[in-house]
């Protein structure tokens, strides 16, 4: 392990034997490294192998072959040491329904060996960070699904573990809840913790991750920082254009430009094209027609790249 890498995954494979059907190759030789202090996103559509990878890295499953090192320890031969280094939110919800949020936090802290004073200090910090103060006395059973999830993620930051795994942390959260949670995760990462999260929500990954790996069918499709991964997809340019309302044939005119897609929001059109020339042609022609009110050109989002990579390399779309 190099000093900078806190997680090193090499050629990791997991095959699930099925009694009647043929075995499932959930991971097919994936390799990636996560640097200390990074927020690293493991991305992929349903069934890609994300949870399987997290389960191996958190010692809940053993790999069929390949190696995974977490915090300097091999997950197979030094499971105990790995478990001391990490904490994890698994995809399934795990909160004590009949305990209050505060007591959920206390029992978690106690389980991890913190003193009562320490735990209460941390509860103070975490409930502030995750905006949970007013929920501390609520029983788990009375919380909405999204709030249960927020409590579960918050719990991970009660204890000081260098590596945090979050499998689909924001599942079921509304936009406001998600934003609070994402901001809290980001703030915690600034303290030097390494966070490995999985998501199929690309806007979330784009907002949060320093580096990402995209997998599908257990195979690595692309990895690197967001910009690097974006540049691996085809280039897409999105022209967002608003024209004079009396230019009624705008949609038909845009369709003639062979765009990848057109999305309309009232009088504004977001047109995705594959070349810079196409993007400029749309703007220039609209300008010459004297109908252009407003325009903006942007590069592809991670979402476009993700769909494109998955389509291109595996023929399967999300
Ligand atoms: N315990 C298991 N036994 C058999 N097959 C399994 C098992 N766990 C996962 N799989 C299979 O392995 C593949 C990868 O599953 P995994 O749960 O890792 O995907 P995922 O990327 O986390 O998907 P999601 O976004 O739906 O959570 C799937 O085909 C799944 O059916
Ligand atoms: Mg999963």
- Measure the CA–CA gap between 57 and 148, rounded to whole angstroms: 24
Which tokens belong to 261? Answer: 């897609």
For the chain, the structural domain boundaries read 5-226, 237-299
Angle, CA of 75, 164 and 308, to the nearest 5°: 90
* CA-based torsion, 46, 47, 48, 54: positive or negative: positive
- Measure the CA–CA gap between 93 and 102, rounded to whole angstroms: 17
Phi-psi label, residue 224: left if phi above 0, alpha if psi -120 to 50, beta otherwise = left
Which residue reads 């995809």 in tokens? 91
For residue 139, give the DSSP letter: B
Closest CA to 216 of 57, 65, 49: 49
- Measure the CA–CA gap between 195 and 221, rounded to whole angstroms: 21
Q: Is 90 exceeded by the pLDDT of residue 304?
A: no
Mean pLDDT, all residues of the chain? 88
For the sheet with 65-70, list strands across it.
24-35, 5-16, 65-70, 73-74
Q: Is 90 exceeded by the pLDDT of residue 305?
A: no
Distance 22 CA to ligand 1 centre (A): 15
Q: What's the average model confidence in pLDDT over 272-294?
A: 90
Top CATH class of 237-299 equals: alpha beta
Cβ(41)–Cβ(198) under 8 Å? yes
For residue 135, give the DSSP letter: G
pLDDT in tens, 41-52: 999 888 889 999
Q: What is the CATH number of domain 5-226?
A: 3.40.50.300
| Per-residue confidence (pLDDT) for residue 127, from 0 to 100 | 94
Q: Is 50 exceeded by the pLDDT of residue 316?
A: no
Q: How many CA atoms lie within 13 A of 309 on its CB side?
A: 25
Q: How many CA atoms lie within 13 A of 314 on its CB side?
A: 19
Least confident of 13-17, 18-22, 85-89: 18-22
Nearest ligand, measured from the Cα of 28: 1
pLDDT in tens, 84-101: 999 988 767 678 889 999
pLDDT in tens, 150-205: 999 999 899 889 999 999 888 888 888 888 888 889 888 888 899 999 987 777 88
- Measure the CA–CA gap between 301 and 317, rounded to whole angstroms: 16
Asked if the domains at 5-226 and 237-299 fall in one CATH topology, the answer is: no
- Measure the CA–CA gap between 207 and 179, rounded to whole angstroms: 10
Stated pTM of the model:
0.78
Structure confidence at residue 282 as a pLDDT band (50, 70, 90): very high
Of all protein residues, whose CA lies closest to atom 7 belonging to ligand 1?
Answer: 16
pLDDT in tens, 50-85: 999 999 999 999 999 999 999 999 999 999 999 999
Backbone Cα Rg of the chain: 23
Of all protein residues, whose CA lies closest to atom 26 belonging to ligand 1?
Answer: 46
**Which of the two residues, 83 and 262, has the higher pLDDT score?**
83
Closest CA to 129 of 97, 161, 151, 146: 151
Of all protein residues, whose CA lies closest to atom 4 belonging to ligand 1?
Answer: 16
Structure confidence at residue 318 as a pLDDT band (50, 70, 90): very low
Distance 88 CA to ligand 2 centre (A): 13
- Measure the CA–CA gap between 85 and 88, rounded to whole angstroms: 10
Nearest ligand, measured from the Cα of 25: 1
Which tokens belong to 155? Answer: 């719990």
Which tokens belong to 230? Answer: 């974006």
């Amino acid at each position: 392990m190099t000093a900078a890498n806190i997680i090193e995954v090499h050629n990791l494979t997991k095959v699930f034997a099925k009694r009647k059907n043929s075995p499932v190759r959930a991971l097919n030789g994936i390799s990636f490294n996560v640097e200390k202090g990074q927020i690293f996103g493991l991305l992929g559509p349903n069934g890609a192998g994300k949870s399987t990878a997290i389960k191996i890295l958190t010692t809940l499953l053993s790999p069929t072959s390949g190696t995974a090192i977490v915090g300097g320890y091999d997950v197979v031969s030094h499971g105990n040491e790995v478990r001391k280094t990490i904490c994890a939110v698994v995809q399934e919800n795990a909160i004590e329904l009949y305990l209050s949020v505060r007591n959920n936090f206390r029992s978690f802290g106690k389980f991890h060996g913190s003193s009562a004073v320490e735990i209460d200090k941390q509860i103070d910090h975490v409930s502030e960070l995750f905006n949970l103060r007013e929920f501390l006395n609520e029983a788990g059973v009375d919380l909405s699904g999204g709030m249960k999830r927020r409590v579960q993620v918050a719990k991970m930051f009660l204890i000081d573990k260098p590596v945090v795994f979050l499998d689909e942390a924001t599942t079921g959260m509304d936009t406001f809840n998600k934003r609070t949670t994402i901001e809290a995760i980001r703030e915690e990462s600034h303290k030097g913790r390494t966070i490995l999260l999985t998501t199929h929500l690309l806007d979330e990954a784009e907002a949060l991750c320093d580096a990402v790996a995209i997998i599908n069918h257990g195979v690595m499709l692309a990895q690197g920082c967001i910009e690097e991964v974006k540049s691996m997809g085809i280039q897409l340019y999105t022209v967002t254009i608003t024209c004079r309302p009396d230019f009624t044939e705008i949609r038909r005119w845009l369709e003639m430009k062979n765009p990848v897609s057109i999305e309309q929001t009232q009088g504004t059109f977001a047109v995705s094209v594959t070349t810079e020339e196409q993007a400029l042609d749309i703007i220039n022609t609209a300008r010459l027609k004297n109908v252009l009110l407003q325009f903006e050109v942007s590069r592809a989002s991670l979402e476009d790249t993700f769909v494109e990579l998955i389509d291109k390399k595996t023929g399967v779309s999300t």
